[in-house]
Chains A and B, each alone.
Chain A
Amino acid sequence: MNSEEIIKNGTLIYSRPKLLNERNTHYCPGCSHGVVHRILAEILEEMGLEDKAIGVAPVGCAVFAYNYIDVDWIEAAHGRAPAVATAASRLNPENVVFTYQGDGDLAAIGTAETIHAANRGENIVIIFINNAIYGMTGGQMAPTTLLGQKTATTPYGRRADLNGFPIKMSDILAQLDGTCYVTRQAVHTPGAVRKAKKALRQAFENVLAKKGTSVVEIVSTCNSGWKLTPAQSNDWMAANMFDKYPLGDLKNI
């Protein structure tokens, strides 16, 4: 049986989610953002949230997320996505509100907004893309950059005495009473992608059940910022990032 016959007679195992539109993404080849966009679009489609979902994207590479996933989006100021999402979810309690933030956004300029939104237990999903670098602006050191990691602003590696220690935002958020679900996932292997999708689905189900803030951290790659190929970036992430940012559920109530 050749490929054409299989395509004609076989069962469809996977096809592109319709919510992810035809526009080509501006992300670098192999960027984890693409995978997360895809699983997000799949979940919104599977759960029938096309008309109910409101996304909030602040500044970062994902600032143009509204171009690619066909749901309602709000553009927030840098770091202020949880504050905007608070308003959106309080004013539209029947809608499902999520934020899509990077580590420079959530863990640096937006730390206060993130912690206080989670502490108030706002009924939102926070999707946190942690690639340990400021990807959009050219690979500068972020608060989540690992010790010894070389970036544009730490060319000899991050030093604890000069630059401090990497911050584990999900661990901080897991301590707060307002959060109901905090998990850390990755998208570097097919199995990990399936697990990340399941975690993201759980987060959206929590919002529908009005349980409080759900945080899904995705440990990601930035192959342009790390100066590696996409495949090498995944290996580097598995070898170095998971020691500091171990995968799994931190809180699930």
Chain B
Amino acid sequence: MAKIKGAVIIDQQRCKGCDLCVVACPTNVLQLQPKEVNDRGYHFAFTANPDACIGCASCAMLCPDACFTVYKVTIADNN
């Protein structure tokens, strides 16, 4: 079966750290920064586990500040 992999780019300065993307992600890719904050003082989201991303764009659907850009590739099996 072909494998699907995804990647997200997060606009970290725009992020308000609302946590909705972290809850929405089915593969637990995202987390909020525990200590670091952006210019506006929010604990922004980052990809803690980028390899698990499947490019489903659930995070992008729920983000109220449109911080996400989502890419996806389908890797064909060589077997």
Is A34 located at the chain interface by the 8 A CB criterion? yes
**Most-contacted residue by chain B among A6, A16, A189 (CB, 10 A):** A6
The residue that A29 contacts in the complex, of B23, B42, B50, B73, with Cβ under 8 A, is: B42
Main secondary structure of the interface of B (DSSP, over half): mixed
Is A116 located at the chain interface by the 8 A CB criterion? no
State which size class the interface on B falls in: 35 or more
- A235 nearest CB neighbor, chain B only: B23
Query: CB distance B61 to A194 under 8 Å?
Result: yes
The residue that A13 contacts in the complex, of B64, B71, B75, with Cβ under 8 A, is: B71
B21 to chain A, nearest CB (A): 10
**Which residues on A are within 8 Å of B, measured CB to CB?**
1-4, 6-7, 9-17, 20, 24-25, 27-35, 38, 187, 189-190, 193-194, 229-231, 234
Query: CB distance A33 to B5 under 8 Å?
Result: no
Is B30 located at the chain interface by the 8 A CB criterion? no
The residue that B61 contacts in the complex, of A7, A11, A33, A193, with Cβ under 8 A, is: A193
**B20 proximity list for chain A (CB < 8 A):** 30, 230-231, 234
Contact with A along B23-45 (1 / 0, CB 8 A): 11000000000000000101000
